C-alpha cells in the first residue's frame, strides 16, 4: 500500500468513510451543450480563496489608520519581498472575481437554474454577489489614496440619498459626518472581519446546497428528460474536478498576467483638503449605477432624482432576490421567455451604462 492508501485506511478504520467513498464514486454531473457555464461558479470560488489567502498576507503589514495606511501599503509594494505581487494579485483578483461572479449570476439567471428546488441556492448566491460588491467598496478605501478617498465620499454620499434613513446610513457608514480615519477603521473592520465571516458562512451554504441537490440542467433539457430522454453523465471525481481545476488554472494564468503586466497603481496619499482630482469615478462595477444617477434629472415627480435612483436600485436588488418565486413558469418547469428577455435587457443596460460611464467626461 502506498502511504496515501495507508492514511486513507487509517482514517477509514476510525471514521468510516463509506459515505465519502460512495459520494466520490457515485456523483455524476450532467453533460449537455450549456455545461461550459457551470465552470464559472468554481472559478469564482477559486478567486475567493485567492482573496482570502492574499488578504491574510496583506494583513501582516497593513496598518489601518489615516496616518499610516498609505505608507504601509507603500511599504508593502516597495520594501517587502514580493509585496507588489501579493497586492497586485489581491487587487486584480478582486476585479476578476466580481466579473466572474456577474457572469455566473447572468448564466444562472438565463439558464433559469434558480427554479425549484434551488431557490435557496439562488438566494445565497445573490446575497454573495452583494457581499462581493461590499468587499470591493470597503477594500477600495483601505490604501487611503486620493481616488479611493473621494470615491468613498461619493459612494457613501449616495447612501445618504436613501429617503428617510439616508442621514443615519451615511453616518453609520462614515463613522461620523465626513470621511475620516474613523471611516477607514470601519471599512477595515467590515472588510477583514464582518464581511469575511458572513461570506464564509454563505459560501459554505451555497456549496452544500449545490452538492446536495446536484447540478441543475437547462430547462429545455429537463423538459426532454421528463419526456423520457436520457442525459449523459460525467463522473464528478476525477473527470469533472480535473476540468474544474483546469478552469482554475485559466483564472490563475489570467490573474498572473494582469498582476505582472498591469501593476495596480497606488496614487497619491489622500488629502481631505485637496481639490477632487478630475475624472473621479468609482470602480467599473459601480459605474453603471454611478452613471445612471448622473443621467437622472434633479427632480422626478416631486422627489430628488438621486432618491428615485437609489430607490430603484433597491427595488431591483429586492426583485433579484425573489426571482425564483416571481418566475411562476419556471417554478412549474415551463419556459419563461419574459424572464429571459428581462435578463438580457438587464445585461445590455449594465454593459451599456458601464461603457458610457467609462467614456463620459
Binding site for another protein (CB under 8 A): 26, 28, 31, 53, 57, 60, 79-83, 85-86, 230-233, 235, 249, 252
Nearer to another protein, 141 or 192 (CB): 192
CA–CA dist 204, 124 (Å, integer): 10
CB of 7 to another protein, least distance (A): 17
- Beta-bridge partners for 269: 145
Question: Which helix H or strand E contains 297, and what residues bound it?
Answer: none
Q: Which residue has the cell 497593513?
A: 62
Cα–Cα distances in angstroms (integers) from residue 120 to residues 28, 210, 256, in the given order: 22, 10, 34
49, 204 in Cβ contact below 8 A? no
CB of 31 to another protein, least distance (A): 8
Four-CA torsion 304, 308, 311, 316, nearest 10 degrees: -160
Nearer to another protein, 86 or 320 (CB): 86
Question: What is the SS3 assignment for 189?
Answer: helix
CA–CA dist 199, 220 (Å, integer): 33
CB of 260 to another protein, least distance (A): 12
Q: Which grid coordinates are listed for 44?
A: 469564482
CB of 213 to another protein, least distance (A): 18
Distance of CA 160 to the CA centre of its chain: 24
CA–CA dist 15, 66 (Å, integer): 51
Nearer to another protein, 260 or 316 (CB): 260
Nearer to another protein, 15 or 20 (CB): 20
Nearer to another protein, 2 or 298 (CB): 2
281, 287 in Cβ contact below 8 A? yes
Contacts of 221 (CB under 8 A, 6+ apart): 30, 32, 231
CB of 54 to another protein, least distance (A): 9
Nearer to another protein, 79 or 328 (CB): 79
Helices and strands, counts by H and E, the chain:
17, 4
238 preceded by a cis bond (ω within 30 of 0): yes
209, 121 in Cβ contact below 8 A? yes
CB of 234 to another protein, least distance (A): 8
CB of 46 to another protein, least distance (A): 12
- The torsion angles phi and psi of 33, rounded to 5 degrees, stand at -65, -30
Nearer to another protein, 79 or 358 (CB): 79
Nearer to another protein, 182 or 231 (CB): 231
CB of 189 to another protein, least distance (A): 24
CB of 235 to another protein, least distance (A): 6
Amino acid at each position: 500500500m502506498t502511504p496515501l492508501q495507508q492514511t486513507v485506511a487509517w482514517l477509514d478504520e476510525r471514521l468510516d468513510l463509506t459515505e465519502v467513498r460512495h459520494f466520490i464514486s457515485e456523483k455524476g454531473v450532467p453533460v449537455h451543450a450549456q455545461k461550459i457555464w457551470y465552470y464559472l461558479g468554481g472559478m469564482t470560488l477559486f478567486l475567493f480563496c485567492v482573496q482570502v489567502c492574499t488578504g491574510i498576507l496583506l494583513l501582516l503589514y497593513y496598518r489601518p489608520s489615516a496616518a499610516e495606511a498609505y505608507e504601509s501599503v507603500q511599504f508593502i509594494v516597495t520594501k517587502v519581498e514580493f509585496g507588489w505581487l501579493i497586492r497586485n494579485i489581491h487587487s486584480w483578483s478582486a476585479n476578476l472575481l466580481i466579473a466572474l461572479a456577474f457572469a455566473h449570476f447572468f448564466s444562472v439567471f438565463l439558464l433559469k437554474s434558480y427554479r425549484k428546488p434551488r431557490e435557496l441556492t439562488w438566494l445565497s448566491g445573490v446575497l454573495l454577489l452583494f457581499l462581493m460588491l461590499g468587499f470591493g467598496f470597503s477594500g477600495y478605501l483601505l490604501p487611503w489614496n486620493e481616488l479611493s478617498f473621494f470615491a468613498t465620499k461619493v459612494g457613501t454620499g449616495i447612501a445618504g440619498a436613501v429617503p428617510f434613513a439616508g442621514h443615519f446610513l451615511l453616518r453609520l457608514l462614515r463613522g461620523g459626518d465626513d470621511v475620516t480615519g474613523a471611516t477607514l477603521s470601519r471599512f477595515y473592520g467590515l472588510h477583514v472581519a464582518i464581511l469575511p465571516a458572513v461570506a464564509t458562512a454563505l459560501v459554505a451554504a451555497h456549496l452544500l446546497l449545490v452538492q446536495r441537490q446536484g447540478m441543475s440542467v437547462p430547462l429545455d433539457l429537463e423538459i426532454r428528460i421528463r419526456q423520457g430522454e436520457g442525459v449523459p453523465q460525467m463522473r464528478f471525481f476525477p473527470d469533472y474536478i480535473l476540468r474544474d481545476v483546469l478552469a482554475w488554472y485559466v483564472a490563475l494564468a489570467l490573474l498572473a498576467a494582469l498582476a505582472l503586466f498591469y501593476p495596480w497603481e497606488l496614487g497619491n496619499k489622500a488629502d481631505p483638503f485637496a481639490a477632487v482630482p478630475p475624472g473621479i469615478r468609482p470602480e467599473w462595477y459601480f459605474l453603471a449605477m454611478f452613471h445612471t444617477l448622473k443621467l437622472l434629472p434633479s427632480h422626478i415627480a416631486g422627489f430628488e432624482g438621486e432618491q428615485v435612483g437609489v430607490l430603484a436600485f433597491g427595488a431591483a436588488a429586492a426583485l433579484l432576490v425573489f426571482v425564483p418565486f416571481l418566475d411562476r413558469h419556471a417554478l412549474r418547469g415551463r419556459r419563461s421567455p419574459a424572464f429571459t428577455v428581462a435578463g438580457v435587457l438587464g445585461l445590455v443596460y449594465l454593459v451599456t451604462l458601464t461603457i458610457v460611464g467609462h467614456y463620459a467626461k
